[in-house]
Every structure is written in structure tokens, then in C-alpha cells.
Amino acid sequence: MTFGGTDDFARPCVSSITSSGHRLVLLTADGVRIEAEYEPYRGPGTGAAEPPAIVVAHGFTGSLDRPAVRRAARAFAQYAGVITFSFRGHGGSGGRSTLGDLEVLDLAAAVGWARSLGHRRVATVGFSMGGSVVLRHGALHPPAPAGADAPVEGRDKEHGGRIDAHADTVVSVSAPARWYYRGTAPMRRLHWAISRPSGRLLARCVLRTRVQAEDWDPVPLSPTEAVPLIAPRRLLIVHGDRDTYFPLDHPRALAAAGDAELWIEAGFGHAESAAGVGLLGRIGEWAVGNFSPARPSP
């Protein structure tokens, strides 16, 4: 599937403009409808030309309407225009969750929408599952070579990369370094739930999260394998020393895999639910202050 213009990215879901901006449905490259919302920049100098954008990728069982995601959007809106969305299988989006695989296409659609709105600089910030997705998206959707006038197909051979939907800088929060990790009790419970019909039924009915039954085939590029492919764009890895899902060997492995800045946050737990306004503000400030000065040479 190819896309020819702004309308191909954003299919109206709600005709009105809400108090926090536009809410639309995005159509992914594989035809899944993804709910998304745009919150305008509200920081100093509001109204200045071409503010940057931050696209927020939530964790597993999240959605754009969850309080933690809305808190992140409000915090980031002090630094940039903000796009939030619900991954496939989550909230009001269509499809089923693939636990970080095809979700790269959801993020690409959201980044493409940010660019169609006129944002020339776009940062992606992902939490937990979303943290792995922003890493893989950064690897699979590189910028066009310097001097290129048209979008080029990226490294996304798994999913048929087709648009210039690259991120200019990437922030991954509370992300795993490797797949199939079961070293903590929360992750063992998660794997139990997604591998059994009764667990998937519980996720659908209680958490509004619809998970595909099939395992990955093939296994997608891992977060650690993705990290070195993001360079020369800037990458920040953020992790809490009280994360009960992924211990500190995960962020350290990610940071060691490439040129990344690493923050180990004292007292911070897991993902957007545990992220306070202070940490979110520092992430937003870093994201808009660390865009690459120029696109890489061919």
C-alpha cells in the first residue's frame, strides 16, 4: 500500500476539534485503523513557526486515553506539539496486538501524520513495549540521504518500508533489551496471559487489549539489534532502578549496543504509569534539544 498525501495518513474519526487538538484515525501500511490525537505546543513562544513534535508510544495495555499517557502528553506539550495514539489491539484502535512487531507500522503512521502537519523535526518517546517499538522504528525507518528530494524506502524489509516517516531523535523508557524475557514475576505472568486463550480473553475483557494468538514468524529485529542502526541520530535510554519488569541489565545492554545516552533513575518504577511530571519534563527537554544537526550523508 502506498500513500500519496496528507489524507492518506489521517482519516477523520471525529469531525470536531477537541480542547486538546485534533482526533483522527490513521491508516497504517497494512490497513489497520489507529486512533490518534494531536495536542498543540503550549510552551514559551507559542505561535512560533515550526515547533518540533513528540510522538508518544505507550506500553502494553495502554491507550491514548489512559491517564498516564495524557499526563505525558501535557508535560511534553510544554516543549513540542504532541501526538498520542493507541497501538493496534489497544483502546479504540483496530487489529490485534503483536507485542511490538507490527506496531512499528502504527508508529510510522503517527510520525507521518506529524510530518504532514508541518513538523520538520520529530522525536519519538516510547514506554515499555512502546520503548522497544521506537527503537525498532528508528532502525527500520532511517532518514533520507542528504540531498534527496523524495522519501526513500528504509530498512523495513519486514514490513515494507514505504514512507518518509523517520524520527529525528529517539527516547526509549523502561524497554526490554531482548525478546521472550521471563526473569521477573510480572513478565512470567504476562507470558502466561498472552500464551493462553483464557489469558487473552481476560486481557480483552478487562484491559481492552486484544492480542493475536499466533507467535512471531519470523522473530522480529530485537531492541538490542536495532540500537546501532539508529546512529547518527541521538538516542536516550531511560530506566528506573525500581523497575519490577526489566532489571538494569536491560538498559545497560541497550546502551552498550550503540551510541546512546543512559539515564538510570533512582526511585523510578516502570513505564509511563510511574513517570512523574519532573522526569517527563526532563525527557521532553532532552528530546527537543538533541535533534541531529543534519541528515546523514549517503
Return phi, psi of residue 37, to 5°: -140, 145
Q: What is the pLDDT of residues 115-141, one digit of tens each?
A: 999 899 999 999 999 999 999 999 999
Q: Could you count the other beta carbons within 10 Å of the beta carbon of residue 225?
A: 16
Tens place of pLDDT for every residue, the chain, 298 residues?
233 333 334 443 333 333 346 889 999 999 999 999 999 998 887 665 678 999 999 999 999 999 999 999 999 999 999 999 999 999 999 999 999 999 999 999 999 999 999 899 999 999 999 999 999 999 999 987 765 544 543 444 444 444 579 999 999 999 999 999 999 999 999 998 888 888 888 888 888 899 999 999 999 999 999 999 999 999 999 999 999 999 999 999 999 999 999 999 999 999 999 999 999 999 999 999 998 654 433 2
Instruction: Answer whether 0.75 is exceeded by the pTM.
Output: yes
Residues 91, 22 contacting (CB under 8 angstroms): no
Residues 290, 260 contacting (CB under 8 angstroms): no
At 264 the three-state DSSP class reads strand
